[in-house]
Amino acid sequence: MGRMSEPKKQEETKPNWWVLCLACAAIVLDGYDTVALGVSVPAIAKDWGVAPSQFTPALALTSAGVALGYLAVGRLVAKMGTRNVIFSAVVVFTLGSLLTAWSDSILQLTIVRFFTGLGLGAVLPAAVSHATAVNPGRLRQPIAVVVMTGISVGALIAGLAGSAIVGAFGWEWVFIIGAIASAVLLPFLWFGLSGSYVSSTPIDAAEAKHHASVARLFDASVRSRTLLLWAFSFLIFAVFYVFSSWLPTLLTSYGFSTGLAPLGSAALGIGSIVGACVLILGSRRFRMTSVLAGTSAAAIVFLVISAFLGPDKALLLLVFGGVGLGLQAGMIGQAAVAVALYPQATVTAGVGWAASMGRLGSVVGPIFGGVLIGLGVDTSIIVLSVCLPVIIALVLVLTLGRITAAKVSSPRSAHPAESPLAAPRT
C-alpha cells in the first residue's frame, strides 16, 4: 500500500504545470478580448464618424454579459464540469471576436459584445477552480493569483499590440487576431484538460448543485465576509473599468494621437502585472487582505497624482501604470480571497459570484465615465471623482481582514477541520 500511495502523494505536492499553463492561456485571451474594444474605440469612432461616448452601451453590455457569465458558471460547472465549461466559453468569445470585427453599427456591436461577454465571464471562475483543484492545497492562493494575472497579461498585449495593429491593418484586426489565437488554443484545452482533474465532471449531480448554490456563500461562518468581499469587488472593478474602457479616449485630451492612445491600456497592463507580483510576494508574509489594503492605498495616491500632471506623455503613462498596479491587484486579489474563503467544491461559485459583483461595478464604471466624457467634464475632475469609491474599498478590505483575523483567533476556530468552510488565511 505504501508503494501504491507514493506516486499519488508526489502528485499532490507537485504543481501541475501543464494545466496551469492552459488555464493561464485561456485567461490571457479573456483579458485581451476584454480590453480590445476599449483600445479600439478611438479608431472605430473615427472610422464610423461618431463620438466615442456613443460606444458606452457596447462597453457596458460587454460587462453585463460577463457578469451574467460569472453568475451562471457555478451551475454550469455542476452540470458540465470545469473542462467543458472552459472549452465552451472560449468557443463563445472566439465567435464573438469574429462577429465584432464584422460589425458595422453601434447596435450590432452592442449585441455582439454582450454575447461575447457571456463567454468571457464563464471562463475565468472555471479556470481558477480547475487550476486550484489539480494543484496542492498550500498553493491555492498563489495559483489563483497566477491564473488571474492572465487578465493583466492579455490587457498588456492588447494595449501594446493594439496600437500597431490599428495603425497597420485597421481596428478589425485587433479582434480577428484574438479570434485566431483562441481558435488555436481550443484543441489544447480539449485534450490537455481531459482527465487532469478527477472531479472535472460532477459525480453526484445533487451534491454538485448544492455546492454551486449561492446559499453556500451565506453560511453563518462566512456571511459577513462574503458581503464585504462583494462590495470591495464592485467598487474596485467599477473604477478600473472607467480607465480600461476610456483611458485611450481620455489620453487624447492630453495630446495623444489615436495611434498612441492605446498605450494607456498597455500602461495599465504593465502596472497590473507588477501588482500581481506584489500580491504573490506580499501574501507570503502578510494576509491577502492586508496586501490588498496596501495596493488600494497605492491606487488612491497615483490617482491623485495623475489628476494634477501636465501633458508629459511618458510621466502620464508611468503614473497610470501605478493606477493599474493598485486597481488590478484588487481585482486579482479578490479571487484569491474567495479561493481561500470557501471549500474547493464551492470555489467556482464563490469566485464567480464575487467577480460578478465586480462586473456589475464594471457596468456602472463605463457608463459613469461615458456620461462625464459626453458632458465635457475635465479629465482631472473625472480622475479625482473615482478616488472616493477606492477609499471606501480600502475601508471594506481592512474590515474584512479584521473580521478574518478575529475568527481565526477565536476558540471556535481552534479546530478548523470541524468546519466545512475552513480555509487558509485571507
Per-residue model confidence (pLDDT) at position 258: 67
Give 398 or 2, the one with higher predicted confidence.
398
Give 274 or 197, the one with higher predicted confidence.
274
pLDDT mean over 379-388: 86
Per-residue model confidence (pLDDT) at position 25: 92
Please give the grid coordinates belonging to residue 268.
Answer: 495599465
Alpha helices, DSSP H, located in 252-343:
263-282, 288-307, 313-341
pLDDT above 60 for 373 = yes
Query: Would you say 242 and 366 are in contact if contact means Cβ atoms under 8 Å apart?
Result: yes
CATH at 68: 1.20.1250.20
pLDDT mean over 187-209: 62
* 291-306 per-position pLDDT tens digit: 999 999 999 999 998 8
Dihedral (CA of 275, 333, 84, 90) sign: negative
Q: Domain count of the chain?
A: 1
Nearest alpha-carbon partner for 156 in 266, 31, 261, 319: 266
11 phi and psi, to 5 degrees? -60, -35
Least confident of 83-92, 302-311, 379-388: 302-311
* 222-236 per-position pLDDT tens digit: 788 889 999 999 999
Give 62 or 415, the one with higher predicted confidence.
62
pLDDT above 80 for 116 = yes
Q: How confident is the model at residue 371 (pLDDT cuts 50, 70, 90)?
A: confident
What's the mean pLDDT when you consider all of the chain? 80
Per-residue model confidence (pLDDT) at position 4: 40
The model carries a pTM of 0.72
> Is 70 part of a structural domain of the chain?
yes
> Is 8 part of a structural domain of the chain?
no
Per-residue model confidence (pLDDT) at position 202: 47
Per-residue model confidence (pLDDT) at position 390: 94
Share of the chain above pLDDT 90, in %: 23
> Is 413 part of a structural domain of the chain?
no
Please give the grid coordinates belonging to residue 409.
Answer: 483567533
pLDDT mean over 257-276: 76
> Is 125 part of a structural domain of the chain?
yes
pLDDT above 80 for 311 = no
Domain that holds residue 331: 16-193+204-408
Please give the grid coordinates belonging to residue 324.
Answer: 493599474
* 12-61 per-position pLDDT tens digit: 567 778 888 999 999 999 888 888 888 888 889 988 998 887 888 888 88
> Is 9 part of a structural domain of the chain?
no
Query: Would you say 120 and 219 are in contact if contact means Cβ atoms under 8 Å apart?
Result: no
Give 5 or 410, the one with higher predicted confidence.
410
Max Cα–Cα distance, the chain, nearest Å: 73
Q: How confident is the model at residue 3 (pLDDT cuts 50, 70, 90)?
A: very low
Q: Cα(296)–Cα(33) distance, rounded to whole angstroms?
A: 25
CB count, 10 Å around CB of 391? 15
Residue 239: how many CA atoms within 13 Å on its side-chain side?
31
Per-residue model confidence (pLDDT) at position 194: 67
pLDDT above 60 for 71 = yes
Question: CA separation (Å) from 140 to 73, 168, 251, 254, 370?
Answer: 20, 42, 38, 42, 38
pLDDT above 90 for 396 = yes
pLDDT mean over 172-198: 84
> Is 105 part of a structural domain of the chain?
yes
> Is 424 part of a structural domain of the chain?
no
Nearest alpha-carbon partner for 321 in 156, 110, 195, 184: 156
Question: CA separation (Å) from 158 to 38, 128, 162, 164?
Answer: 10, 22, 5, 10
Please give the grid coordinates belonging to residue 7.
Answer: 506516486
> Is 141 part of a structural domain of the chain?
yes
Question: CA separation (Å) from 22 to 19, 148, 170, 194, 383?
Answer: 5, 13, 30, 12, 36
**420: amino acid identity, one letter:** P
Query: Would you say 193 and 123 are in contact if contact means Cβ atoms under 8 Å apart?
Result: no
Please give the grid coordinates belonging to residue 286.
Answer: 502578510
pLDDT above 80 for 95 = yes
